Structure formats: C-alpha cells, structure tokens
C-alpha cells in the first residue's frame, strides 16, 4: 500500500481509538497528523466499548481499505471479535503502555513511523489465540500474571508507564498463592505446582517480556511455561531469562509448545488474556493459524529473524 499520488483517490482508514489510552488526546493528534501526511483519509471512531468497535467495523467495513486500532493491547483485544474475518487488513498504532502486539509485529513505537507502516507496509497473516471462547493476541495465563493484572490501575500506568508492570509484579508476588494444576498437552498429562502458567500466541507480553526465544506470532503454535514456587531472590534471577525468552534454561521453569492445551487447577483461578480478566479455570487454549491480516513493515521477515536471533544470544 503506497501513499496516494495527486491523481489517485486517497485510501480511507477507519481509525478506532480508546480515549482512556495513556496520553490519549496527544497521541491521537499525532496519529491523525501521521496518517494524513501518509496520504490517508481518516474516518475516526472513539470508544472504549467492544460492542461499539464491532458496530463501527460492521458499518464501515465496505467503505474503508484498512481498519486502524490506536491504543494498547487491551484496546486491540477488545476489538478482536470485530476484526476476525474482516476482509480488510488491520493497522496497529501503538498508543498504549506496553504495546506488545506492535513489538511482536516489529512495528515502530514512534507513531509517525507506525503510520508509514499503515501507508506503505505489506499484509501478513498472523495467528490468534483463544481461551474459553475469548481471543488473545499476545498471551493468556493464570497465577502471578492475573494478580499483576488486578494490581495494574489506569492511573499507575499513566504515571509510571512500563515500570508499573515491575511494581505490580513485586506486589503480586508478595500476595501470590501456589496452585496445583493438571496440564493436558500433546496427548500427555502433566501435574505441576506453579506460581504462574503463561500461554503465548505472540512473541511479547507483559511490557516486553518474551514468551520463548524462537516464538513468533505467525508460527501456528502456542508457547507455554510454568514457574514452580521459588523464593523471591530466585524469581529475581529468573526474571532476566523471562525478559529474553530463555527461561527454558532454568530448572524451575517447565516449557512446552503446542496447538491446544487444557488446564485444570485445584481451585478456580482467574484467567487473564492480554491483560484483561476473562473468567476462571478450568481453561482450554487453542491457536487459530493465519486468522487475521495485518500490516507490517516491508522488512518484517528480516526484523523477525533479527528478533529471534538476538534473543538466542
């Protein structure tokens, strides 16, 4: 997709954004300027409600060339039901706190550059995860991650940005409870005691953490890990491995890759998906390969190799 020349019609984009996004009004103005400068005509819808996203997409899908979602991962997750089977590609503008989907797609964090991806990028099919009927792009899980989600408040994210995740993680660990779980995966059943079980569809989650060294959002796989109960000092030692996706090197972390997984815990435990609470265990996870077309940088394949290669170092 290239910017329109003077003798070509301007391409139209449906720009969906969440007014609650961090620095939302300022970011929205930068996004409008960037999209307009890239030669795109904007139809804007502002809402934080998933039903309103669906209504806007259904109303405009035949009148636009791209649906652009501006916001964080929670906003894009809320829009997911309206995006599947869309018929036009999705453009992502990273206007939230963590922007993990944008990281997985190698989309620049700078809005001006992200707008250029929407104008000039290539289409690529990506996978989407499902847990108990709810979509997720990045990761879903139980345990410590759920506690972190509950402790992350809007004001803290606005004030501290990505650092709010570190504080919420420490606070959550202090109050965390060990749980027992049966995991049915790849025809086998495993029993674990865990602080956290994460199931990743994309590459990044939780403010730049990496679900696995070789994970990508278009590999047709879910990457799973479980952290056994460990003292805080040892958990702090595992944290850098989680950041790089090399936690399979720790004997306190169980890892597996699969397309489907069933999780049964010793008590109902809240399940979070892309930072949103979506029910409790038991939970069934699956991946839908190639479910959505998105716009990515022209050199996405090279960036994808670089991401995987750098993590393995």
CATH code of residue 177:
2.60.200.40
Domain assignment present for residue 303? The answer is no
Q: Tokens 């999705």 — which residue? A: 90
Q: Which helix (H) or strand (E) holds 37?
A: helix 24-37
Identify the band that residue 6 occupies on the pLDDT scale cut at 50, 70 and 90.
Answer: very low
Reply yes or no on whether 175 is catalytic.
Answer: no
Identify the band that residue 8 occupies on the pLDDT scale cut at 50, 70 and 90.
Answer: very low
- Residue 146: the pLDDT is 56
Residue 133: CB partners within 8 Å, gap ≥ 6?
none
CB 284 within 8 A of CB 260: yes
**Residue 282 preceded by cis peptide, ω within 30:** yes
Whether residues 172 and 93 fall in one domain:
no
- Residue 5: the pLDDT is 44
Chain-centre distance for alpha carbon 257:
18
Domain boundary among 120, 146, 163: 120
Domain assignment present for residue 115? The answer is yes
Whether residues 236 and 283 fall in one domain:
yes
Residue 45: CB partners within 8 Å, gap ≥ 6?
14, 15, 16, 17, 52, 53, 56, 60
- Residue 230: the pLDDT is 86
Identify the band that residue 46 occupies on the pLDDT scale cut at 50, 70 and 90.
Answer: confident
Whether residues 160 and 258 fall in one domain:
yes
- Residue 49: the pLDDT is 77
Whether residues 109 and 155 fall in one domain:
no
Domain boundary among 88, 120, 152: 120
Domain assignment present for residue 6? The answer is no
Q: What is the residue-averaged pLDDT of the chain?
A: 86
Whether residues 145 and 278 fall in one domain:
yes
Chain-centre distance for alpha carbon 246:
19
Closest CA to 139 of 224, 80, 78, 70: 224
Name which of 116-130, 191-205, 216-230, 299-313 the model is least confident about: 299-313
Mean pLDDT to the nearest integer, 37-57: 87
Chain-centre distance for alpha carbon 304:
16
Domain assignment present for residue 304? The answer is no
Domain assignment present for residue 265? The answer is yes
Whether residues 106 and 205 fall in one domain:
no
Active site residue: 188, 228, 276, 302, which one?
276
Closest CA to 207 of 115, 22, 73, 48: 73
Domain assignment present for residue 183? The answer is yes
We report the CATH number of the domain holding residue 107 as 3.40.50.10330
Identify the band that residue 127 occupies on the pLDDT scale cut at 50, 70 and 90.
Answer: very high
Domain assignment present for residue 311? The answer is no
Q: Is beta strand 204-205 parallel, antiparallel or unpaired with respect to 66-71?
A: unpaired
Phi, psi of 111 (to 5 degrees): -65, -40
Q: Which helix (H) or strand (E) holds 271?
A: strand 270-273
Whether residues 141 and 113 fall in one domain:
no
Over residues 265-311, the pLDDT tens digits come to 999 999 999 988 899 999 999 999 999 999 999 999 998 888 887 65
Residue 208: CB partners within 8 Å, gap ≥ 6?
98, 100, 103, 162, 243
Domain boundary among 120, 153, 185: 120
Structural domain total, the chain: 2
Whether residues 116 and 139 fall in one domain:
no
- CA dist 33 and 114 (Å) reads 12
Length of the chain: 313
Whether residues 51 and 96 fall in one domain:
yes
Whether residues 205 and 267 fall in one domain:
yes
Closest CA to 28 of 9, 10, 47, 11: 47
Whether residues 152 and 265 fall in one domain:
yes
pTM over 0.75: yes
Identify the band that residue 202 occupies on the pLDDT scale cut at 50, 70 and 90.
Answer: very high
- Residue 13: the pLDDT is 96
- CA dist 304 and 170 (Å) reads 31
Domain assignment present for residue 125? The answer is no
Whether residues 138 and 110 fall in one domain:
no
- Residue 2: the pLDDT is 45
Over residues 220-261, the pLDDT tens digits come to 999 999 999 988 788 878 888 888 999 999 999 999 999 999
Over residues 160-182, the pLDDT tens digits come to 454 455 555 556 555 567 899 99
Task: Note down the domain range covering 157.
Answer: 134-289
Higher pLDDT, 9 or 283: 283
């Amino acid at each position: 997709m290239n910017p329109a020349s003077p003798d070509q019609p301007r391409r139209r984009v449906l720009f969906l954004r969440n007014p609650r996004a961090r620095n939302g009004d300022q970011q929205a103005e930068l996004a409008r300027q960037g999209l307009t400068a890239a030669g795109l005509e904007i139809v804007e819808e502002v809402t934080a409600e998933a039903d309103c996203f669906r209504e806007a997409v259904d109303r405009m899908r035949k009148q636009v060339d791209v649906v652009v979602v501006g916001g964080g991962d929670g906003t894009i997750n809320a829009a997911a039901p309206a995006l599947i089977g869309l018929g036009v590609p999705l453009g992502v503008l990273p206007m939230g706190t963590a922007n993990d989907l944008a990281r997985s797609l190698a989309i620049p964090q700078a809005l001006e550059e992200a707008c250029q991806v929407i104008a000039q990028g290539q289409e690529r099919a990506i996978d989407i995860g499902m847990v108990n009927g709810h979509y997720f792009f990045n990761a879903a899980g139980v345990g410590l991650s759920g506690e972190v989600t509950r402790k992350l408040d809007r004001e803290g994210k606005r004030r501290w940005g990505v650092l709010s995740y570190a504080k919420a993680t420490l606070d959550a660990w202090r109050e965390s409870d060990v749980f027992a779980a049966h995991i049915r995966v790849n025809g086998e059943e495993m029993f674990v005691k865990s602080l956290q079980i994460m199931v990743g569809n994309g590459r990044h989650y939780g403010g730049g953490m990496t679900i696995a060294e070789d994970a990508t959002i278009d590999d047709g796989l879910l990457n799973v890990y479980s952290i056994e109960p460990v003292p805080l000092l040892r958990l702090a030692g595992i944290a850098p491995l989680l950041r790089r996706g090399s936690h399979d090197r720790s004997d306190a972390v169980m890892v597996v890759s699969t397309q489907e997984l069933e999780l049964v815990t010793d008590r109902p435990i809240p399940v979070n998906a892309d930072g949103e609470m979506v029910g409790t265990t038991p939970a069934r996870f699956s991946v839908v390969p190639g479910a959505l077309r998105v716009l990515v940088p022209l050199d996405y394949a090279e960036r994808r190799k670089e991401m995987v290669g750098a993590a393995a170092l």
